[in-house]
Structure 1
Amino acid sequence: MKKIVVIEDETNIARVLKIELEYEGYDVHVEHEGRSGLNAALEQEADLILQDVMLPGLNGIEILRRIRKAGNQVPVILLTARNQTMDKVTGLDQGANDYITKPFEIEELLARIRACLRDYSFKFIPDTDPILSVKDVKVNLNSREVTRAGHPIELTLKEYELLTYLLSNKNKVVPRENILLNVWGYDFEGETNIIDVYISYLRKKLEEGSSAELITTVRGVGYTIKEN
């Protein structure tokens, strides 16, 4: 049974979420305040955290930041209001896996929860090798450390996710549509050239000072990282 920690100060919403999630077979723990929510998130060994952004005591973005700082990669879905665009952007930058805007349909929320749990299970299978590598680039999936020729490289969350996705498909040409879906999500509404922007960021950080090209553009299709 998967465990979900719900952090929501509106008691009616929290009650409905608990009823619906338990009906779907989840073990649900509910907190109504930011600090107790953070403690539950870190102590309950949750499989997923569903939390509001606006919370008393400690807001949802700060809870998320502390969860990720602690090295916990549990999937987090943010509950946001329609006018909280910056909270959505900040939340994703801080490591949120997804967000859903209030008011929402419970069927959509359940689908997003299933998607996050499925993606997390795929990315963090215990028996798989935690190291992704190509040439002299290595990514440790446990520590999230990225190095080239032994030298550490600092990446933002989205740069890291883009690199790990390309490395997971090493020696394959990855279409732009697949990158957009798997790195930015199916509901991304920004410009598709965001991929080109982040590829350029990665190239600058990974290829600076090296004559060896790491990421190859396949014109009209997408990108690839090849071993040779």
Structure 2
Amino acid sequence: MSGTPGPRNGRVRVLIVDDEPALTELLSVAVTEAGWRPYPAADGHSALRLARGCAPHAVVLDGMLPDLDGLQVLRRLRYESPKLPVLMLTARDALERRIEGLAMGADDYVTKPFSLEEVVLRLRGLLRRAGTAGARADDSVRVLGDLVLTEETREVHRDGTPIGLTAKEFDLLALLLNHPRQVLSKAQILEHVWSSTFDGGGNLVEVYISNLRRKIDKGRAPMIRTVRGLGYAIRSAEDGR
């Protein structure tokens, strides 16, 4: 992260950091209904890795996390992106915590329990002041599990680690991420990535799928799946189906 990304980077991206799955889901729905794209993380380390990949426009950060302290996460976010708007979530009786958060650079806070409408309104105000409230809606960034692809910069990260791809490998991965969990045949892949159905094209697809697996999946839980007799699909590592 090098400063807060502007509207040219596409749809407003909001990183949501909270270890309560039900609350994270509610916040994600509220963010989506506001016209923004949510990126949930359940702990501090995951949040920092995801932030480096997706370059969020704003962060909703719980003060209490299971690994890194929320203030530690805030400090690291501030170090890497000084102008990134951060909205802290704090307990009602945590006055000292709120003061610490604001002193360390949090832009605003809400106390639990809170209304989702309040969170959206406060985020809207932070985005407006940061100049990103009107970011246009597009799909420059795609995220599936810990895999992040940014079309505008043609960058790929997995678990926060940059992955170097050739032009066609990037196009193939982008095609798969445009259709998560959907099985794409070799003919479909050839048509969209190479605009061709020449003889031997099936072998070409196999070679590029193998290259992608070597770069994306090696040493990690596999995401690129072969569906025998049908084609290939990409799924999050947690999706065993």
TM-score calculated relative to the size of structure 2: 0.49
C-alpha distance in 2 between matches for 1:78 and 1:91 = 7
Match of 1:51 in 2: 61
2:88 to 69, 78, 96: 78
C-alpha distance in 2 between matches for 1:30 and 1:118 = 22
1:120 positional shift:
1.1
Stretches of structure 2 that go unaligned for 5 or more consecutive residues are 1-10, 133-241
Query: Within the alignment, does 1:35 sit opposite 2:45 as a pair?
Result: yes
Alignment identity in percent?
33
C-alpha distance in 2 between matches for 1:59 and 1:80 = 12
1:99-118 equivalence runs, <5 A? 99-118=109-128
Q: Is the 8 A contact 2:87 2:110 kept in 1?
A: yes
| Partner SS, residue 59 of structure 2 | strand
Q: Is the 8 A contact 1:41 1:49 kept in 2?
A: no
Aligned residue pairs, count: 122
1:105 positional shift:
1.1
Between structure 1 and structure 2, the one with the greater Rg is: 2
Match of 1:98 in 2: 108
C-alpha distance in 2 between matches for 1:38 and 1:80 = 19
C-alpha distance in 1 between matches for 2:47 and 2:18 = 9
1:121 positional shift:
1.2
Match of 2:32 in 1: 22
Stretches of structure 1 that go unaligned for 5 or more consecutive residues are 123-228
1:72 positional shift:
3.3
1:29 positional shift:
0.5
1:91 positional shift:
0.6
1:154-169 equivalence runs, <5 A? none
1:65 to 54, 75, 79: 75
1:64 positional shift:
0.6
1:76 positional shift:
0.2
1:3 positional shift:
0.5
C-alpha distance in 1 between matches for 2:92 and 2:31 = 23
| Partner SS, residue 22 of structure 1 | helix
Greater relative contact order, per chain length (Cα 8 Å cut-off, separation 6+): 2
C-alpha distance in 2 between matches for 1:52 and 1:71 = 18
TM-score calculated relative to the size of structure 1: 0.52
Amino acid at match of 1:103: P
After superposition, give the CA deviation of every residue in 1:176-196 in whole Å (9 maximum; x if it has no partner): xxxxxxxxxxxxxxxxxxxxx
Q: Is the 8 A contact 2:43 2:67 kept in 1?
A: yes
1:13 positional shift:
0.2
Amino acid at match of 1:74: L
| Partner SS, residue 99 of structure 1 | strand
Q: Is the 8 A contact 1:77 1:98 kept in 2?
A: yes
1:70 positional shift:
2.2
